[in-house]
Amino acid sequence: MHKYLELGDDKMNPFLSHFETAHNTIPFDKIKNEHFMEALEEQIKKRKSVIEKIKKNPAPANFANVIVEMDKSERLLEPVISTFSNLFHAEANDELQVIAKDFFPKVTEHENDISLDEGLFRKVETVYQNKNDLNLNKEQLRLLEIVYKSFVRNGANLNPKQKDEFRSISAELSKLGVEYSEHALNETNNFELHITDEKDLAGLPDSAREAAQMVAKERNKDGWVFTLQMPSLIPFLQYAENRELRKKLFTAHASKCVRGNKDDNRDIVKRIVELRHKKAQLLGYKTHADFVLEERMAQNFNQVNNFLNELLECAMPVAKREIKELTEYSKKIGGPDKLESWDSAFYTEKLKLEKFSIDDEILRPYFKLEDVVKGVFEVAGRLYSIKFNKVSNIPVYHEDVTTYEVSDGDGSFIGIFYADFFPRKGKKSGAWMTSFKSQAVIDGKDERPHISIVCNFTKPTDSKPSLITFNEVTTLFHEFGHALHGLLSKCTYHLISGTNVYWDFVELPSQVMENWVYEKECLDLFAKHYETGEKIPKEYIQKIKDSSNFHEGRNTIRQLSFGLLDMGWHAQIPSNDVDVEKFEKSIMDKTRLFPEVPGTCMSTSFSHIFSGGYSAGYYSYKWAEVLDADAFEYFLENGIFNKNISMKFRNEILSKGGSEHPATLYKNFRGREPGIKALLKRAGLV
């Protein structure tokens, strides 16, 4: 491990000694919950000792003895923080959730101790002021700028009284984020739709029935149980003919954390927004959005607002035509004259099947999860000349997790890849990429990364392997794109390696990967019937392409509504007596396509922006779509497996991390600025 991580007195705590594991991976089989706080406190002490040495060094402050030493010192805390954080999201239990209420605030307190340390900041400031005389390369200048700005943006220039207030706000925000996340998980886990009459399953495919029966058995119940986990929720809303049960399930999902019980998040939302605003003003910014966007490609709220509204203007007429068509279709087949939110997926799926003769259940047999995983590895190999080899000698935190050694075309070691695909009680909903160890060059050695993707896909049943939907296929490719960004990093410094880039750029590597699954040349690599081995029929691939922008107007409006809601909360001065539901309604009305559902609220379970780091940044998904559509158009013009272009993407985007400004990286790859036309064309909005 890092040279500072010396053998601790307590050899029983794995975090306080060298990991005796393959590639220095996390020894999950030896870690107990009581190890986390002990290790965190010990490593904080060690890091503070390093910081004191930096401050007391009598030599003139320079890049090597201040900035590089600070970057290396961060590695001391990485194993324990990354492990705890990842388990908190992927394998939480009651004890871990209790520990989190002390763990994350302790991390925040330590981060404040560093950023508000007057002596340390003066050293950093000295180096920054002398940067033009230090003969630094681009990456070093970028790191120096990031470190200096980080201090300033975290209160280094505040007076003592303001620093105390900053600490107090940061500590409270950390606690509130944990509570918000815990409440959302509880609400997801605590609801179930228990069905005992088989007639109520009418319309549901066998895969959904069998999965629900398996959940019921796990809970010692007869019949079928549907939950708010996406692999259970989505098929029910798409196929269940019982409209009242669709309504019940939809309403339960859309009213999470707004029921007036112990897991209600309304007061937490208001307090988080209030504290973020106070923190921004303390630092000299008008709003939280102004603070966040200063370090984004978009740069300011006006740019984001104009961007979102330009897309809204293009998408809304299309979306309204789609709703009109869907309503007329519903009437034609004996459905309601007025569609509600719980009708949307049901009639959309039926209309899609009628228009394109394709739906999830027709495609599902061709997407056995193991085959799709092999497929995404094959795609990565063709693009970037890398290989994934499944291994069993690396400890994991759950039996569902699989591990792979990743190697380059010349056989050199690239990193470790963890894959965790199925929902369970202790796992948050959604899908994400994360890391247990980031890439950096330490004392001349390139320390390679340990990267993980976590998803909630359709589980295997007693009679079938995991057969995933086409949407789940795109999700896998998306998260795998993030993983490649982490794995292929070739930076020198921890703070700017891998996915440590602007948040409205970080989605480019992930979203661009989704494009491959619409192409025959890619699908032919892995899409085959799980029973017969037959390749996915050519006509199915054409139907996938033909239907790729089916109701894309509505899908765009949905994403824009989330981005606008995010900006609504963070780009204006919040009111102390704001009503969360009424405020949300005032923002969402301009994008509403179906009647409002009383008692529902997005903000109370919008984890991306209230506990996931995307505050004032949810627009990033759409912003990155402009980049990914433009980038993939480059591939389409020259071949989707064109080696010259793919290696250019690897070398100019994936390997560079945040070592240069993202606008520069993109221009180096594409040869020009990105344009919005490719996105509008792909989405059928022009």
Q: Is 177 inside any structural domain?
A: no
pLDDT score at 9: 43
Q: Are residues 21 and 150 in the same domain?
A: yes
Q: Is 623 inside any structural domain?
A: no
Cα 167 to Cα 155, 270, 570, 616, distances in angstroms? 9, 19, 20, 21
**For 212-267, how does the pLDDT look when each residue is reduced to its tens digit (9 = 90+)?**
999 999 999 999 999 999 999 999 999 999 999 999 999 999 999 999 999 999 99
Q: Is 81 inside any structural domain?
A: yes
Q: Is 227 inside any structural domain?
A: yes
Q: Is 543 inside any structural domain?
A: no
Distance from C-alpha of 379 to C-alpha of 522, rounded to nearest angstrom: 7
pLDDT score at 239: 98
Distance from C-alpha of 244 to C-alpha of 251, rounded to nearest angstrom: 10
Q: Residues of the chain whose pLDDT is less than 50? A: 1-10
Q: Are residues 105 and 18 in the same domain?
A: yes
pLDDT score at 6: 35
Q: Are residues 202 and 83 in the same domain?
A: no
Among residues 157, 178, 207, which one ends one of the domains? 157
Q: Are residues 148 and 225 in the same domain?
A: no
Q: Are residues 27 and 119 in the same domain?
A: yes
Per the structure, the count of domains in the chain is 2
Q: Which residues pair with 419 in a beta bridge?
A: 402, 453
Q: Are residues 130 and 217 in the same domain?
A: no
Q: Are residues 250 and 125 in the same domain?
A: no
Q: Are residues 144 and 45 in the same domain?
A: yes
Q: Are residues 97 and 214 in the same domain?
A: no
pLDDT score at 575: 82
What one-character DSSP code corresponds to residue 460? P
Q: Are residues 203 and 111 in the same domain?
A: no
Q: Are residues 124 and 242 in the same domain?
A: no
Among residues 201, 220, 254, which one ends one of the domains? 254
Among residues 228, 254, 280, which one ends one of the domains? 254
pLDDT score at 569: 97
Q: Is 23 inside any structural domain?
A: yes
pLDDT score at 5: 33
Is 636 within 8 Å of 288 (Cβ atoms)?
A: no
432-437, strands of its sheet edge to edge: 387-391, 402-407, 413-420, 450-454, 432-437
The residues, any chain, with a CB within 8 Å of residue 552's CB and separated by 6 or more, are 315, 318, 683, 684, 685
Q: Which residues pair with 405 in a beta bridge?
A: 389, 416
Q: Is the dihedral of CA 323, 328, 329, 335 positive or negative?
A: positive
Give the count of beta carbons closer than 10 Å to the beta carbon of residue 387. Answer: 16
Residue 479 known to be catalytic: yes
Q: Are residues 234 and 150 in the same domain?
A: no
Q: Where are the alpha helices (DSSP H) in 130-265?
A: 138-153, 160-190, 206-218, 230-239, 243-254
Q: Is 201 inside any structural domain?
A: yes
Range of the domain at 135: 14-157
Closest to 639 measured CA to CA, from 485, 520, 557: 520
Closest to 274 measured CA to CA, from 587, 676, 583: 583
Q: Which two tokens stand for residue 592?
A: 């509403």
pLDDT score at 86: 97
Q: Which member of 91, 447, 472, 479 is catalytic?
A: 479
Closest to 461 measured CA to CA, from 216, 650, 680: 216
Q: What is the CATH number of the domain that holds 77?
A: 1.20.1050.40
Q: Is 130 inside any structural domain?
A: yes
Distance from C-alpha of 647 to C-alpha of 517, rounded to nearest angstrom: 19
